[in-house]
Amino acid sequence: MPQISKILVVRNDKIGDFVLALPAIQAIKKAFPLAKITALVPNYTKDIASSFSWIDGVIIDSKKEEAKKALAQQLEEQAFDAVLCFFSDRYNATLVRQAKIPVRVAPATKWVQILYTHTLRQRRSQSLKPEFEYNLDLANYFIEILGGKVLSDEGPMFRYDKEALSCQLMKLEVLGIPKKRKLCFIHPVTGGSSSTLTIEQWTALIVFLDSLDTFHFVITAGPNEESVSQAVVDAVKNKFSHVSLYAKNDGVADFMCSIATASLFIAGSTGPLHIAGALDIPTIGFYPRKRSATPLRWKTLNSDGNWLPLSPNEAELLLTNMEVERSFPAIESWYQNLMKG
């Protein structure tokens, strides 16, 4: 195998999926430290990729068929030695083949696997282990194909120094979020195939959390999510005043730095929860009861003890039916252990 100098990694779908590929990208860079690692991502994960120190360059993919030919030409001009697609569909398989990248690696998926030079059968739909471990298995396979050596990983994926966090807290204070209390971020809206709690359930949970510590509750919202998050703020304000809506920021990188100031982050299984996990902020995740979205499969990147998964029981089935009060003893015990640590 000739010297590897340019590697393309492809994860051009959801935020959470991209975050859970970061340890695998780190492993590739550690195996080939002199190679330039370029990530092909959608515009909404660009800031995450640019903030990740193990990625050297970013190319934006609109995933529009009419722009695909020009993108394939752009990739071909970059003369990549190899590409790893963390997930495989017709679009990705034909794109990297049209780009004439000599080594093309992906999970073995349906008929499109014939368009790659190497594939690894993983059976991810069985959800037998965390998504980030499936990604690491794929990265290790890729590294071995290229003749590299698999090295140990490290975490968290993102770090901010004290000065950056201090500046971000001052920025949040201007928005009415005080520094004098611990910040508990809650993202009550979940996109994609996952569901989440109702406004009433979030309110009951927040009132309980208020008894555990001196939190200021920061209710976050992404694009088109503000109405739900505002409804949670309004419901909580009937109980106490130390709650704020945080719906405006200066992009994903700014939002990530804000999450880094939190003492606790709570959400359904969604992108912001996985960002918090990549920062190793203690997280509580609410997961639906279905095989494709189990807590094991979508475990965050938190270190041991910094992640608490909660799900409906067999009788409840749906998160919206979950008796949220049932989870309070587990949350209290977990948080007390967290504080002791």
Assess whether 117 and 212 both reside in one domain. no
Assess whether 130 and 100 both reside in one domain. yes
Point out the least confidently predicted range of 200-204, 228-232, 289-293: 289-293
* Pair 270, 296: CB distance under 8 Å: no
Which domain covers residue 82, as residue numbers?
6-145
**Model confidence band, residue 194 (pLDDT cutoffs 50, 70, 90):** low
pLDDT at position 291 is 80
SS3 10: strand
* Pair 130, 297: CB distance under 8 Å: yes
**Model confidence band, residue 191 (pLDDT cutoffs 50, 70, 90):** low
Residue 234 lies in a domain: yes
- Say how far apart CA 294 and CA 309 lie, in whole Å: 9
SS3 110: coil
- Say how far apart CA 198 and CA 321 lie, in whole Å: 9
On the question of pLDDT at 319 being above 80, the answer is: yes
On the question of pLDDT at 192 being above 80, the answer is: no
In the chain, how many domains are there? 2
Assess whether 173 and 303 both reside in one domain. yes
What does the pLDDT look like over 158-167, one tens digit per residue? 999 999 999 9
Averaged over 230-240, what is the pLDDT? 96
What the block records as the tokens of 58 is 């970013």
pLDDT at position 242 is 96
What does the pLDDT look like over 117-168, one tens digit per residue? 999 999 888 889 999 999 999 999 999 999 999 987 777 899 999 999 999 9
- Say how far apart CA 115 and CA 246 lie, in whole Å: 45
* Pair 256, 51: CB distance under 8 Å: yes
Averaged over 41-54, what is the pLDDT? 96
CA angle 163, 27, 291 (to 5 degrees): 95
**Model confidence band, residue 65 (pLDDT cutoffs 50, 70, 90):** very high
Neighbours of 24 (CB within 10 A): 25
The length of the chain is: 341
Averaged over 57-83, what is the pLDDT? 97
Residue 253 lies in a domain: yes
Would you tell me the crossing angle of helices 199-209 and 328-340 to the nearest 10 degrees? 40
**Residues 6 or more apart from 3 whose CB is under 8 A from it?**
none
Would you tell me the crossing angle of helices 162-174 and 252-259 to the nearest 10 degrees? 100
- DSSP labels, 87-109: S--HHHHHHHHHTT-SEEEEE--
DSSP secondary structure code for residue 2 in this structure: P
Residue 154 lies in a domain: no
Indicate which CATH number applies to the domain containing 172.
3.40.50.2000
**Rounded to two decimals, what is the model's pTM?**
0.94
